[in-house]
Amino acid sequence: MKHRRYVSFFALLPLSCLMAYMPARTNRLKKASAEENPYYIIVDKSDYELKVFDDEGWYATYPIVFCSKDLGDKMREGDKKTPTGSFKIILKKIHPKWGPELLLDYPNDESYRRFNERKAQGLIPKNAKIGDGIAIHATRPEEEWTVDNFYNWTDGCVSVKYTEMKDLFSYIPVGTKVTIQP
């Protein structure tokens, strides 16, 4: 019996040492103003992940879904695609249907440039509109299963589980940079 206790102790020792040196995410939580914001977000459409980084490196990862299985760049209003590019959060609000929401500055100058270029090339109709209202937002509380099952349901936004979006919303300030990549 004594031998088993020593084996268990020595088997768990490396794990406990490793955990002692891993910084807890909650210990790194920083309430930051826009001027001293240590966070930035990378949305990886191909991996269905939203990753948060701070000035120390990787901070958190959240599973996400989008609008359709076509993960290409948003071309125009109503195409049910999530735009790619560099954006920033311009507004935090609570949406009446799905709660916490981080509104992006889509369309921005780069979005307009690509949109007008595509119009000129005839890739989209001349009367097409660029669209707006792209956000990172929660699922409805009872619909977190959409993220677990990779069920793309939005009109172009990035959707995070309701419970996890409450966490993200609590520490990400307005002004945070967001990169959405294919």
The conformation of residue 134, written as its DSSP 8-state character, comes to: -
Flag whether 94 is in a domain. yes
Supply the CATH number for residue 105's domain.
Answer: 2.40.440.10
What pLDDT does residue 69 have?
80
**Whether residue 4 has pLDDT greater than 50:** no
Flag whether 5 is in a domain. no
**Whether residue 72 has pLDDT greater than 50:** yes
Instruction: Identify the CA nearest to 115 among candidates 72, 74, 82.
Output: 74
Average pLDDT, the chain: 85
| CA distance linking residue 105 with residue 90, whole number of Å | 6
Flag whether 15 is in a domain. no
Flag whether 4 is in a domain. no
Who wins on pLDDT, 17 or 50? 50
Q: Give the structural domain span for 72.
A: 32-181
Among 25-34, 37-46, 72-81, 165-174, the range scoring the smallest mean pLDDT is 25-34
Flag whether 47 is in a domain. yes
What does R_g of the chain's alpha carbons equal in angstroms?
20
Give the pLDDT band (50/70/90) at residue 98: confident
From residue 181, how far is each of 33, 82, 118, 178 by CA, in Å?
A: 26, 10, 19, 10
Q: Is the CA virtual torsion 50, 88, 71, 133 positive or negative?
A: positive
Looking at the 3D structure of the chain, how many domains does it have? 1
Among 9-18, 49-58, 158-167, the range scoring the smallest mean pLDDT is 9-18
Flag whether 123 is in a domain. yes
What pLDDT does residue 151 have?
85
**Whether residue 100 has pLDDT greater than 60:** yes
Flag whether 73 is in a domain. yes
Flag whether 13 is in a domain. no
Q: Which residues of 137-175 are buried (b: 16+ CB within 10 A; e: fewer)?
A: bbbeeeebebbeeeebebbbbbbbbbebbebbbebbbee
pTM: 0.79
